[in-house]
Structure 1
Amino acid sequence: MTFVQIIDCKTDKVDDLNRLMDTWVEQTQGKRTATHSVVAADRADSKHIVEIVEFPSYEEAMKNSHLPETDRIFREMVALCDEPPTFTDLDVIRDEQLNKSAARRFFEEVGKGNVDVVDELFALDYHDHDQANEVDTMGAAGMKQKAAGYLAGFDSITFTLGSQLADGDEVATRWSWSGVHSGEFMGLPATNKRVEMTGTTTFRFRNGKIQEGWWNWDNLGMMRQLGLLPR
């Protein structure tokens, strides 16, 4: 179970605190078990500093706290604070990254043949970048038409989703795809050949909607499988 520790302190030496954290990150390289750290200042009280540190589990957090570098940095941190820091230990019972869930839902629903999900997930002025297209697809309506084109050209479609990475308002999803070329696709009559490919799609979100997308996938591999290029 993911474990989160919240550290509260009062200090006006924020720059020194940041330098201290930089030192800890450098000195614990290859040793620390912390996976994510956020340092934030209270808007109502600039001296109120909160650090949120995430670990894979409580046990891993304890390993991290027993590092000599962690102990030394903590003592220096206490010296920077107006009063001893307070700690809150939390077991995470729900962790839902909404943008990642929305990106995953797009692939899952379109794989089932539901192109209407585009109306729900994509911004009206969506901008799509795809290396396979000479001209970018614009708008949610254009994205819906693009998805429908794949569904018309292929049967027995399966999307297998791999890892997802979120950074700010962007989500990258690694995927694999397969389908039987049973209908006209980009001007090519049906070949009844099974096509398999892999790729990564990065979506940028704005106000909960997918605003922009970048597709990187094995377009040449698909063309070879369809017989359009020599193997």
Structure 2
Amino acid sequence: MHNNHPKAVVERFNYEVIRDGNRAAFEALMAPDFVNWSAPNEQLRGAEAMWTTFASVLRPAIADMEVRIHEQLCDGDKVTTRKTISGRHVGTLMGVEATGAAISIDVIDIVRVEGGRYVAHWGINTLASIVAQLRGHQASPK
């Protein structure tokens, strides 16, 4: 599989950008007109908002972050990936202070790749339910 194959591009993004926090890889892999259609509003649809989610929300809160790709399906220029992002909850995550708990976020996303770069993203993940569990865990008597 050559480096520009859509699956290889998505794999590189998952390991180098999400897991390793590599900004140079992020810039190399994002098209200038990238749109994240899963963002809550138009202001957050660009590439920079996606970087912020990884760099400022997930990475500071999750230690020993691992990304496990379970499967990837490629159809033309779109790649569907089923994966798990896991680690230990060591920093504030969406308002919940560190619990030290092991967390595992399941993700399914679809990325459209053009010329070796991300041009569009759609995805669903279990982050909200994980945060709700952590909040309950935090509130329970010690």
- Which one of the candidate residues 210, 216, 220 is aligned to 2:118? 210
Paired AA for residue 215 in structure 1: G
Runs (4+) off by over 3 Å:
none
Residue 228 of structure 1: CA displacement? 4.8
1:120 maps to: 28
| Residue 134 (1) aligns with residue 40 (2) | yes
In 2 relative to 1, CA 190–140 (structure 1 residues): closer, same or farther, beyond 3 Å? same
Structure 1, residues 28-72: CA drift from partner, whole Å, max 9, x if none?
xxxxxxxxxxxxxxxxxxxxxxxxxxxxxxxxxxxxxxxxxxxxx
**Maintained 8 Å contact 2:96/2:135:** no
SS in structure 1 opposite 2:53? helix
RMSD between aligned alpha carbons? 2.3
How many corresponding residue pairs?
134
- Which one of the candidate residues 130, 138, 141 is aligned to 1:222? 130
| Residue 161 (1) aligns with residue 74 (2) | no
Paired AA for residue 126 in structure 2: D
Residue 103 of structure 1: CA displacement? 0.1
| Residue 189 (1) aligns with residue 97 (2) | yes
The alignment-based identity, stated in percent, is 25
SS in structure 1 opposite 2:37? strand
User: Per chain length, whose mean CA-contact separation is higher, i.e. which structure has more relative contact order (CA < 8 Å, sep 6+)?
Assistant: 2
1:101 maps to: 8
TM-score normalised to structure 1 length: 0.52
Residue 189 of structure 1: CA displacement? 2.3
* Runs of at least 5 residues in structure 1 that lack an aligned partner in the other structure: 1-94
**Maintained 8 Å contact 2:90/2:99:** yes
SS in structure 2 opposite 1:186? coil
| Residue 148 (1) aligns with residue 55 (2) | yes
TM-score normalised to structure 2 length: 0.80
